[in-house]
Each structure stands twice: as C-alpha cells, then as structure tokens.
Amino acid sequence: MPDAGAGADRVAVSTARIQELISLAEQRMASEVMRYQQERVRLLKARAARLGPLEAQIERTEQAAQVLVEVEKDDPSRYERVGDERQPESYVRSRRLVAADRHRAEVSERYFEEKRRLGEMRQQVAVVELGLRSLDEVAKMRVRRAFEYGNRRIYGYWAAFVRHHPDSAEVNHLCVPVGPSLRAWADSDEEGHHEKAENPALDAPSRAADPPHWRESDRVHAVQD
C-alpha cells in the first residue's frame, strides 16, 4: 500500500473509479451510523420501559423493609385474644410468642420476595445499560472496518492503475490516491463520556453517551482522470 505520508511532494489524486469506490465506502460507513442510531433508540426505549416499574418496586421494597422493622419491635401482648384471662399465664405467653413469630416470618418472607424482585429488575436495567455503554465502541469498530475495506479496494485498484500506466514509476513516486473520510468520532480511541444517572433505581450506573457528532476530516482533491 503506498504511504500517503511519505514524501511531502506527493499529490493526492483521484479517478472516476476511485470516486466510485470512495462513494461506496462512505455509503457503507453511513449505513453503520444509521444502524448505531437505530440500536441506540431501541435500547433507550427498553431502558425507559424498565425504569418506571423499577422505581415502583424500589418503593414496595422500602415499604416492606419498614414494616419488617416495625414488626421486630412488636410487643407480644398485641396478639392477645378474647378469653386469654381465663387461660394459664404460661399458655397465653407461649401462644402470643408463637403468633408474633408467625407474623414476623410472614412479613420477613414478604420483604425478601420484594427484594428478590427488585434484584431481578435491577439486573434487567443493568443489561440494557451495558448495551448502551458498549454501543459506541461497537459502532466505531464497524465504521473503521468499512473505512479500511474501502481503502483496501482503492489501493488494490491503484496498484493495478500504476502498474499499467506508461509512466508507472513516476506516478508511483509522485502520486497517492485519495480515500474515504474517516469520521472523527470513529477515529477516536477515547471512551465515550457518560453522565451519572440521577435515578436511584439504577444504583448509579452510567447513562449512555449522547450520539456522536460526526465531523468529516479534510481531504485534498487533485482530480486527474
């Protein structure tokens, strides 16, 4: 592959076929951008659909926890029955303790069931959050792949063009083909910026980054057909 950076006097040139290959490569990159945007919208909708029920489940779990705290403070005397005064004191005390333990077990079971549901719902949101966080890098990889494939096709064509040119040595020394523009976002190795979630339902995972702002890099055009 010719080194586009070698030789300050090398001129970037194009032909009709190179422009066709550039167009195909940029269409392919644009298709990957659209794919990214559609997938991001889908994941954001999935996330939003889970946040409402998760908030409600947090509230139910907190209420169940509060009830459990109150039950732990229970005085067994609140489980008195009509006629207890006619029963032996030891029997009444034992019956009340059993009733208190039974009630405490029921409340505890209800709390742990709410807590289990909350864990499941948090996990569902976490899966969507993970998909959102990884989406940028996946899209970058796909765009880079389309860019590199387009460059390979252009340089394959260019090698054949130079080989059959009557002044092949001079053309190879002085010229380099133009190529597709790699979007600045796809060319960045930096991780996307994620805002901290304000919603306690998320247990503070990151929100997905905003859609990348695509910027075309500059490209020299010296068309020689």
- Within-domain flag for 173: yes
> 28 vs 212, which has greater pLDDT?
28
- Within-domain flag for 40: yes
Q: Across residues 97-105, what is the average pLDDT?
A: 77
Domain count, the chain: 1
- Within-domain flag for 6: no
Q: Write out the residue range of the structural domain in which residue 106 sits.
A: 11-223
- Within-domain flag for 58: yes
What is the structure's pLDDT at 216?
32
- Within-domain flag for 4: no
What is the structure's pLDDT at 117?
94
Region of 219 (left: φ > 0; alpha: ψ -120 to 50; beta: rest) is beta
Q: Residue 34 pLDDT more than 70?
A: yes
Q: In the chain, what is the straight-line distance between the N-terminal and C-terminal CA atoms, in Å?
A: 21
Q: Across residues 124-128, what is the average pLDDT?
A: 94
| Rounded CA separation 37/17 (Å) | 30
Inter-CA distances, 206 with 150, 193, 211, Å? 35, 9, 15
- Within-domain flag for 3: no
Q: Residue 148 pLDDT more than 90?
A: yes
Q: Residue 42 pLDDT more than 70?
A: yes
- Within-domain flag for 161: yes
What is the structure's pLDDT at 3?
44
Percent of the chain with pLDDT over 90: 48
Model pLDDT for residues 70-90, shown as the tens digit of each residue: 877 765 555 556 565 556 666
Residue whose C-alpha is closest to residue 150's, from 2, 32, 3, 20: 20
- Within-domain flag for 123: yes
Task: Supply 187's token pair.
Answer: 């060319």
